[in-house]
A and B are shown apart, each in its own frame.
Chain A
Amino acid sequence: MKLSRTARAALLGTMIFGFTFIYLPLALVVINSFNTNKSFAWPPTGFTTIWWSKAAANDGIRDAVMRSVITALIATSIALILGSLAAAAISRYEFFGRDAISLLFVLPIALPGIVTGIALNNVFTNFFGKLTFFTIVIGHATFCIVVVFNNVAARYRRLGMNLQEASMDLGASRFTTFRLVTFPLIRSALVAGGLLAFGLSFDEIIVTTFTAGAGQTTLPIWIFQNLFRPNQAPIVNVVAAALILISILPIYLSQRLTADK
C-alpha cells in the first residue's frame, strides 16, 4: 500500500511525538543521575559521578537489590516448573473441567494487585502467623505462573501433537521425544515467559507491600520509601538509571528469542 506524502509526514510526526513521551523522561533520569544539583534543576548545573558512588556504597540499596533478585529468581523458578507443567497438561490432554482450570490459571493476572495483596495478607497473617521473606515469594509466584503458563500453552497449541507422534513413530521413547523434540521447540517460550516473570516480580510493589515481612525491603519498596527524602533523591535517581540500562538486555533477548525464525 502506498501512502501519500501528507499521510506519511503525519504518521512520522505522531510516532516522534509518542516516542518523545516515552523516552524523554527516561533520558532525563539518566542525565540527572550525573547532575550536581540535588533538586534536579534544569539545565544541569554540572557533571558528577558522586551519586553513583554513594549509591554503590549504600547498604540499604545493596540489600534491597539482592532481596529483589533472589525473590524474582525463586518466583520465576516456581513459575517455570508449575506453569509449564500446567500448560502441558491443559494443551495436550483432554479431561473433565479443562477449560475451567485453564481460566482459573489465567485469572490471577486480571485481578488487581491490591486484591491479591489483601487476600494473601489475610491468609499469611491468619494461618502462617507472620509475614516473612517467603510470603513475598509466594505472592510473586501467583502472577509469575500465569505469564509462563500463557507463553508455553500458546506454544504447545501451535506445535500440535504431530511432531511428538512422528518422534515416537521413529522409535524414540516419551523421554527421548521430550529431550530431542518437545523441549527444544518450547525452550524459547520458556525463556520468554521466564524473563517476563522475572521482570514482573522485580518491580512489583503492591502485592509486595502486603506480603513482605518486617525488614524485608525489596528494591521497589526501598525506592518508594526513599524517593521523598531530599537527601536520598539523587541516589534513587541513580538506581532508576541503573535499572533502565539493566532492563534493556532481557527485553532485547526475549524479543529475539520469540521472533519466528
Chain B
Amino acid sequence: MALIEIRGLSKSFGEVKAVAGVDLDINAGEFITLLGPSGSGKTTVLRMIAGFEDPDAGTIKLNGEDITHLPPYDRDVNTVFQDYALFPHMDVITNIEYGLRVKKVNKEERRKKALEALEQVRLSGYEKRKPSQLSGGQRQRVALARALVNRPSVLLLDEPLGALDLKLRQQMQIELKELQREVGITFIFVTHDQEEALTMSDRIAVFDKGKIQQLDRPAAIYEKPVNEFVAGFVGVSNLITGNAAQTLLGKSGTFTVRPEKIQIDKAQGAAGTVKEVEYLGPSTRFIVDLDAGARLVVLRQNTDESAVDVMSMRGKKVNLSWAKESEYRVN
C-alpha cells in the first residue's frame, strides 16, 4: 500500500481550474518531484496535501487514513516553505523547537532533539541567532531542521531552493538528497527547474494545466517523453513534425530527438544550415535549420578536436544524423 494515495483531486480558484483531477500514489521513503511551469497546479497539490487549501473534489489518504479535509495541525506532514517562513521574533533554536513545543514535548527533550536537528543541517553554534542574522542558505537549513525535527511521515518542500544562487543551489541539492536518504522520510518536492528534478528525484510527476502529464523515473521522463509538453519542458524539445517528419523520417506525426543524440559532422544525413553556435565550455550547442523545415538543437561534447574553431561553423552547411532508436514519437 502506498503511503500517500491521491484520487481525483481537483481545485478551482474562481474561474481558474488549478488542479483538474490528479491521481498519484507515493511510496514510503520516496523522493518524488512535482515538476511543472508556474500555474501548472503543482504547488496547489502540495498545499492540499499540507492542508492549506481545501480540495473541491477528490481524496487524499495518508497511511490509509483519509486526511482530505483535516486542518494542517492534524496531519503528520511538515512543510518547508519557499520563503522559509521562519518566525522572525524567535531565535534559531526556538524556531526549531516550535513543533515539539506545541505538541507539549518536555523542555529537555525538545532542546536535545532540536540541537540534533541543527547538527544534522550543519548549523551547530547558531542556536541563538535570529533569522534576520542568517544568510539565505542558512535560513533554508533552519527551515529544514524545523520541519525534520518533528519526524513527519512526509516532508513537503515548496521550491525550497528557488531563492538561492546557483552554486549554493547545487550544493543544497546534494545535501537534500543525502539528508533524505539518511532520515528515510518521504520527500515531496515542488520545482519548476527540470535539472533539479532530474538530479534529485526517484520519480518525477510532470504537471501541466492542472494534470499530471507523465509520472516516471527521471531517465524515463527525459528519454521517453509521452507528449510534446513533456518533451519540451524537460530538456530541449527538438520537434520534427508535419512535412519535415514525412520527408526526413518517412512517417507522419510529431517526433523528438534529444540534442546530444544528434551527430553534426557526418557526410550523410538531413541537410541544413548552422544558424547559431554557442560555446558552453565542456560542450558546444548548435542551432541548425534543416532544409526540410525543422529547427534542431545539437549538443556536441568538446572532446577531441580543437574546440577553438567551432565558432567558425556559423552559416556552414551541415548534415545531421541520429540513430533510429533516438527518435521518439510524442504525438
CB-based contact A163/B50 at 8 Å = no
A173 at the binding interface (Cβ < 8 Å): yes
**A166 with B81: CB separation less than 8 A:** yes
A168 x B73 contact (CB < 8 A): yes
B50, B87, B88, B132: the one contacting A169 at CB < 8 Å is: B50
**15 new A-B contacts at CB < 8 Å, known A166-B81, A168-B51:** A165-B72, A167-B87, A167-B98, A167-B102, A169-B51, A169-B52, A169-B77, A170-B102, A170-B147, A171-B73, A172-B73, A172-B102, A173-B102, A180-B98, A180-B102
**A166 neighbours in B (Cβ, 8 Å):** 79, 81, 85-87
Assess whether A170 is in contact with B89, with CB atoms less than 8 Å apart: no
What are 11 pairs between A and B in contact, CB < 8 Å?
A162-B85, A165-B52, A166-B79, A168-B72, A170-B78, A170-B99, A170-B146, A171-B102, A172-B73, A172-B102, A181-B87
Kindly identify, within residues 155 to 191 of chain A, every residue whose CB is under 8 Å from any CB belonging to chain B: 162-163, 165-173, 176, 180-181, 184-185
Q: With an 8 A cutoff between CB atoms, is A5 at the interface?
A: no
> CA separation between A260 and B51, bound complex, in Å?
32
A229 contacts the other chain (CB 8 A): no
Name the distance in Å between B93's Cβ and chain A's nearest Cβ.
14
User: Any chain A CB within 8 A of the CB of B191?
Assistant: no
8 Å CB interface, B53-92 against A: 71-73, 77-79, 81, 83, 85-89
Q: What are the residues of chain A within 8 A of B78 when measuring CB–CB? A: 169-170
Which residues of B are found within 8 Å of A184, using beta-carbon distances? 89
The interface residues of chain B lying within 8 Å CB-to-CB of A170 are 73, 78, 98-99, 102, 146-147, 150
Q: Evaluate whether A171 and B85 lie within 8 angstroms (CB atoms) in the complex, with A165-B72, A166-B79, A261-B132 already known.
A: no
- Is B103 interfacial (CB-CB < 8 Å)? yes
Q: Which of A165, A176, A184 has the most CB of B within 10 A?
A: A165
Instruction: Give A250-261 as 1s and 0s: 1 = Cβ < 8 Å from B's Cβ atoms.
Output: 000000000001
How far is the CB of B83 from the nearest CB of chain A, in Å? Answer: 6
Chain B residue contacts of A171, Cβ below 8 A: 73, 99, 102-103, 150
Cα distance A261–B98 in the bound complex, in angstroms: 22
Interface size on B, residues (CB 8 A): 24
Query: In whole angstroms, how far apart are the Cα atoms of A181 and B99 in the complex?
Result: 12
Q: Nearest chain-A residue to B130 (Cβ)?
A: A261
Q: Are A176 and B72 in contact (CB under 8 A)?
A: no
User: How many interface residues does A have (CB within 8 Å)?
Assistant: 17
Residues of A with C-beta under 8 A to B103? 171
CB-CB under 8 A from B50, the residues of chain A are: 165, 169
Residues B84-130 near A (CB distance < 8 A): 85-89, 98-99, 102-103
- With both beta carbons as reference points, the residue of chain B lying nearest to A181 in the complex is identified as B87
A20 to chain B, nearest CB (A): 39
Using Cβ atoms and an 8 Å threshold, which residues of chain A touch B71?
168
**Residues of A with C-beta under 8 A to B98:** 167, 170, 172, 180
CB neighbours (8 Å) of B85 from chain A are: 162-163, 165-166
Chain A contacts of B51 at CB under 8 A? 168-169
Chain A: minimal CB distance from B46 (Å): 11
Q: How far is it, in angstroms, between the C-alpha of A173 and the C-alpha of B75 when the chains are bound?
A: 12
Residues 23-41 of A at the B interface (beta carbon under 8 Å): none
A181 to B86, CA, bound (A): 10
Which partner residue on chain B sits nearest A185 by CB separation? B89
Query: 4 tightest A-B contacts by CB?
Result: A170-B99, A166-B85, A168-B72, A172-B102
Q: Is the Cβ of A169 less than 8 Å from the Cβ of B89?
A: no
B189 vs chain A, min Cβ distance (A): 16
- Residues of A near B99 (CB, < 8 A) are 170-171
CA distance A70 to B214 in the complex (A): 69
Q: How far is the CB of A181 from chain B (nearest CB, A)?
A: 6
Which B residues are CB-close (under 8 A) to A261?
Answer: 132
Q: Which residues of B contact A169 (CB under 8 A)?
A: 50-52, 72-73, 77-79
Task: Tell me the minimal C-beta distance from A144 to chain B in angstroms.
Answer: 27
Give the docked Cα–Cα distance between A188 and B55 (Å): 36
> Closest CB-CB distance, B305 to chain A, in whole Å?
53
Mask: chain A, 32-73; 1 = CB below 8 Å from B; 0 = not: 000000000000000000000000000000000000000000
- Complex Cα distance A162/B79, Å? 11
Across-interface contacts of A173 in B (CB, < 8 A): 73, 102
| Complex Cα spacing A163 to B85, Å | 5
Partner of B102, one of A162, A165, A176, A185: A176
In the complex, which residue of chain B has the Cβ closest to the Cβ of A163? B85
Report how far A185 CA is from B81 CA in the complex, Å.
19
Q: For the complex, what is the distance from the CA of A169 to the CA of B84, rounded to whole Å?
A: 13
B220 shortest CB reach to chain A, Å: 33
Q: Which residue of A lies closest to B47 (CB)?
A: A165
B9-65 contacts to A, CB under 8 A, are 50-52
When distances are taken between beta carbons in the complex, the residues of chain A under 8 Å from B146 are 170
**Which chain B residue shows the least CB distance to A162?**
B85
Q: In the assembly, what is the distance between CA of A115 and CA of B102, in Å? A: 51
For B82, the closest partner residue in chain A by CB is A162
A25: shortest Cβ distance to chain B, in Å?
41
Q: How far is the CA of A128 from the CA of B259 in the complex (A)?
A: 84
